[in-house]
Structure 1
Amino acid sequence: MIPLVTDSETSNAGLPLVGATDTTPDVVDGLAFAKLYGEPLFKLPNDLYIPPDALEVFLEAFEGPLDLLLYLIRKQNFNILDIPMADVTLQYLKYVDQIRKHNLELAAEYLLMAAMLIEIKSRMLLPSTKSTEGEEADDPRAELVRRLLEYEQIKLAAYDLNTVPQLGRDFLHAQVFIETQTVLHWPQVEIADIQAAWADVLKRATLVQHHKISREELSVRAHMTGILRKLQSTRFVEFSELFDPSRGAPVLVVNFVALLELAKETLIEITQAEAFAPIYVRLAYTPA
């Protein structure tokens, strides 16, 4: 932000107060009026030096060249869509000359805008020319007007946001610290609570239980031998008598496979007297 300063207020600044009569009392109402490196001062030193910037008077402050231009236009009620470039440029250059006396580094940005204003002013002095299509040339101020309008909208939006209450600036959170002594109160455990806890344990136990599966070795050849031995003691054996359901499905399957293998090798014969009659198994007939 660039301050406007007056030279009249700083004309006597920057001079050491040497030889002046010191009228400052040693003690002011028994209290020190300042501290230097932590030590109280009850009397101004004779060689006190006041820097020139200490007496600057802040009149107006601007955020940049566009802010200054907008200020000059609004202050004199100029139409922003028809800016009188001569008057605005003259006032702007006066302000830039004042900045250069105090802060040449900060004046660079303002000098760039001043060059732009002078260029626009020069282009407006030239006679207007029409394009090949018969249309009039663009106004040299159009780009500057667009930037000024956009900047003004952003500035107004920032002002509206600044009016919103902010934590730490407009209000603070209320905080109250209360010291309390807590006393532990253990709940009473009822019989129903213990029963519910035990039921939950049993439920979880059923979810994590394991099933152990043992491997039983079954031999088709061994079952073929068993069937042959059973058929040697009798002439005919009913088909269902060759199977023992109590031994489980795996044994029944292996026993059936053994029966098929015997029939394949023509060691047994599977006969039936008529349709839907019982099925019988016997040893294959071998002539002497």
Structure 2
Amino acid sequence: MERYSVQIDTFQGPLDLLLHLIQQAEVDIYNIPVAEITEQYLHYVQTMQELELDIASEYLVMAATLLEIKSQMLLPGEEDPGEDAFVEEEDPRQELMSRLVEYKKYKEAAVELREKEQEGAGRYAKGSSMDEEAIEEKYAAAVPENLSLFDMLDAYQKLKERVRYHTPKETKIKGGEVTIEDRMTSILSFLEDKQNGITFIELFPSGERSHMVVSFLAVLELMKHKQITCVQEENFEEIMVYQTEEELVGE
């Protein structure tokens, strides 16, 4: 498969990924389980590299920072020669926790401002040939901010686990490669008569790694160009995929 770099607006940075992992693990931001979060963070970075996403160097810097904090927390405390008790040392997580708290504060403020903007501007253009109420009902939850790239990576990782456990040990090797452009076309064609949408996993009929990677990158490109909408009603639930309003109107 040729190298293909994908950039998407919801890919916001390493602090965003850390907040996602903390939310997923349901842990206190002031008491981060560094070993667990570091392992999961590295897993995400490895997945992004596997998919050949355009990873900024800051992701690798954060990975190094997490590994350094993890190693510091594994070291025993230094005992004061003149005292029986251990010297109280600064928590090596402190600086990172402060950055996360500050980032979370500004992110929540940005979301609140965006919601107020949407209330005044509305979400859909007037003059559509489709019934506007029907469109709003179907796509009310399809706001880009409700679904990040990290949620998509979650779904991809779960898909890989499912394929690993259900793929037979003996498989037939199929020749030929499918390009991302071809896969984008086939996905749109598949969605044409699916008015109620499909689940994310239905886009991956093949368990072949190359086909899975191409399909995932095709989904990201279609999202980027607003040709499809991916909706997740609740955190970590099944992702639903719909053709966007513009695509449906143009048929």
TM-score normalised by L of structure 2:
0.41
By relative contact order (CA 8 Å, sep 6+), the higher-ranking structure is 2
Larger Rg: 1
Which structure shows the higher helix fraction?
2
